[in-house]
Every structure is written in structure tokens, then in C-alpha cells.
Amino acid sequence: MAPSGSYRVSAYTRAARNLEMPIMVVSNSEHSLVPEVANGITVDFSLPEQAYTDIISALETINVACVLATDDSCVELCGRVAEYLGLPQNSAAAALLTQRKDLGREALSRAGCNIPDYQVVKIVDQGEVPLSVEYPVVVKPLALAASRGVIRANDDTEFNAAVQRIDAILESTGQQGFARENLLVESYIDGQEYAVEGFIIDGKFSLLTIFDKPQPLTGPYFEETYYLTPTRLEPQQREALIGEITRCCEAYGLEHGPVHAEARLASSGPILLELAARTIGGQCGQLIEFSLQQKLEELIIQGMCGIAPQTDGEGESAGVLMIPITDSGILKRIEGLTEAQQTEYVRDIEIHINPGYELIPLPEGSSYLGFIFAQSPDFDQTYKALKVAHSKLSFVTQPKWELENLAV
């Protein structure tokens, strides 16, 4: 199951073909799939009950080995379909916890996991209800992903400004209900940040890899940039991080499928920031292939069918820079791309926003300019290659002109 425009569809299609497994793609795309590539049906994910009925009807004569969601928006529906088919899956309740930050924090608190102080704040009560969390704080939408709308505030003035800004973002995204009317406020956690990729089979967590995020993420916004693997964590720190992620998965009730977790190593130990019942997003899954010599999507399909991922240790260092959008405006052209691609140890550079399209930085934005991939014998050389290549790129923009009150 994949929303239209998902980065992951082509990668999973290729993986299934390599494994000689026929697939059906369920999407909300307006365009039919090419039968030579994969069979498929179109549903409306905004109407989950109707989508569920349409999917079940389409599967009446098909022997399904596994049901897989490519993105967060499909996880809950995917679990319901798998349950109907009697396939291993995460419960709808567990999937919901990965979609709602407030409910996730409640589950972690009940399980005794290491969490920051937090408070759910109603947007309309801004300035009227005192905060129980001490500054600095991080204000988050309950249901948006990829750091969108996540803002650090150091005092009342910054907090009020953050709430107003997130309110406008939620309005633009069409959020409804409790997630539209409330925000999560957490104490800011100081510490290095890491991403953990794993897989759960029959409730048992297996590690794929740990990504270091060498660039400090201190705010006011928290845009992802550099991911590098294998980690430079000491064995004791690594074990503590994996142990905490495992406990958090158990607290959520996750039983089967991929796991993408993000955490910080604070003075009190590892603290979970986000937990998703999916793989790492965007094109970053390529790092698994670079470092483990296995395609992430093939590992996930096999895992969904009950075949535990087999990783024979980690190879060379691999890294990615998710190219941040720093300036708003209309992208006119990209300069220095050829030179950047020739940087030593750079494997590939992908640009995902074409000239003529608008660039929107965080916290309002939800996409990256593209990705720079590098691979080298060690961590420092990989990190340097990513930074050098990025320094050679120049993104030329022009202001976005809006005509208002135009008289005819």
C-alpha cells in the first residue's frame, strides 16, 4: 500500500521482481498502474472504511503472502487488511500509537520507558493554561511527520509564536479532530541523535543498522541532514540504545514488521523521539545496500513473510545528506552539480525538485531538495565527502510573486 507520489513504490517493485514475487499495488493515484509492472487498484485513503472494503473485495481470489505499507499514512489500514487475511501484523491500536505522538508518549509512560516531561496543550487555550514543562521546550503537531511543524521555544514569547505558526501549518494540511486542535509540548532533550533501523518477527526485534546524525540538532527547527553508518557508538552505548528501542516497541505493542526509530542519548540514557512501523523514509534506504550489501526492500519483503533478516556484519562507511531547503522562493537553476558529483567517494546525487517549483523551508515545508550519497573506507571520509559535495552546489532562487487585489 502506497500513497501517490511515494518514493518507495519503484524500489519495492524492483525488490519483489528480484525475489520473483508478484505484487499488487494499492494506491490513491488517479492513474492506473502498468500491468507489465504490477497489478493494482485505486482507493481513497481518506475514506478508510471504503478503502478497506475495496481492498478485501479485490483480494478474494488472490493468495497473499504479506501486506506491506510503504508510508505512515497506510500503516493502520495495512494492519487491518493483514488481520482479515490472518497474516502476521501489528494491531490497529499499535499502529495508531506510531501515528499519534501524544498517545505514543502515554504508552511509553505506562511502560516505564525513559521519556521527557510532556504536556498536551489545546491550541485555543494558548496563553491561558500554564505550562507544566520547563523551558526550553519543543512544540510538536500530534500527527505530522518528517520534523514538519516541530519548533523549539525558549520562553513564553517564542512558545506563543510557535503555537500560532503550527496552527497555520495544521490548517494548511487539512488536519481534523483532536490532532488539529491540540499540540504536544516536550522538554528539550540535549544529546546526540541517532536513527535505528530494525525488524520485528513474532515480537522479537532484530537490528539492521544504526545511523549516526553527526550534525547537532538544537533547533529552533529540526531538519534531518546527515545520516552515516556504521555507528561510532561504543558497544555499551549501542546496547543501551537497542535495549531502549526494544522496550519502546514492546510498549507500543508492535509485533511484526519494519521499525524506524529516532532517539537521543541524554545524560539519563537513550530517549525515544519517534517510532514508526515502517522503514527509513525517502531514498535513504539505499544506505542499507551500500553498507550491508543487501537491498533494504528485499530484506523487508522477506521479513514480512517471516524470514528473519540475515546481516553478515557491516561493510564500508556509507552516508547520505538530505539536502536541506534553506531559502524560500522559486527554484531557477542548480549550479555546480557536475563538480559536486565528481567529489571523491560520492556515489550519487539525486535532485528531487525541478526548476520552476517552489521551495518551502521547515517548519512549513515537508520535502528535501534531494540527496547526496557517499561511501568510503571510514566514517570521517564519508562525512567529509558529503560536506564537500554540498558546498559545491548552489541553488538559485527568485521570489514568489503573489498578485493581490488585482484590478481589472
**Structural domains in the chain?**
9-89 (3.40.50), 117-187 (3.30.1490.20), 189-312 (3.30.470.20), 316-408 (3.30.470.20)
> Which cell numbers hold the place of 170?
495544521
Q: Which residue has the cell 528480484?
A: 18
Is the pTM higher than 0.95? no
Which tens digits make up the pLDDT trace of 198-242?
999 989 998 989 999 999 999 999 988 999 999 999 999 999 999
Greatest C-alpha distance within the chain: 71
Nearest to 186 by CA among 260, 246, 135, 241: 135
User: How far is 40 from 396, CA to CA, in rounded Å?
Assistant: 40
Burial class (CB in 10 A: 0-12, 13-18, 19+), 311: middle
342 with 395: CB under 8 angstroms? Answer: no
The pLDDT, as a whole number, for residue 205 is 93
DSSP readout, 47-67?
Answer: SHHHHHHHHHHHTTT---S--
Q: What is the dihedral of CA 47, 53, 57, 62, to 10 degrees?
A: 80
Predicted confidence at residue 38, as pLDDT, reads 62
Q: How far is it, in rounded angstroms, from Cα 156 to Cα 149? A: 18
Q: Judge contact between 11 and 2, C-beta under 8 A.
A: no
> Distance between CA 382 and CA 392 in Å, rounded?
16
pLDDT tens for the chain, residues 1 to 408: 988 877 678 888 889 999 999 989 999 876 645 554 567 889 998 899 999 999 999 998 899 999 988 877 788 888 889 989 999 888 888 988 998 999 999 999 999 999 999 999 999 987 777 899 999 999 999 998 878 999 999 999 999 999 999 999 999 988 889 999 999 999 999 999 999 999 999 899 989 899 999 999 999 999 889 999 999 999 999 999 999 999 999 999 999 999 999 999 999 999 999 999 888 876 777 788 777 778 888 888 999 988 887 766 566 899 999 999 988 999 999 999 999 999 999 999 999 888 999 999 888 887 889 999 999 999 999 999 999 999 999 999 998 876 554 454
pLDDT value for 117? 96
Q: For residue 73, what pLDDT is reported?
A: 77
Distance CA 359, CA 353 (A): 8
Map grid coordinates 514543562 to a residue. 133
Cβ contact 275:145 at 8 Å: no
Residue-level pLDDT at 32:
44
Classify residue 8 by its DSSP letter. T
The Cα–Cα gap between 289 and 266 comes to 30
Q: Computed from CA positions of residues 262, 321, 382, 319, in that sequence, does the dihedral angle turn out positive or negative?
A: positive
Encode pLDDT of 57-99 as tens digits: 999 889 999 998 887 778 888 888 998 999 988 888 898 899 8
Residue 386, helix vs strand vs coil: helix
Separation of alpha carbons 129 and 157, rounded Å = 15
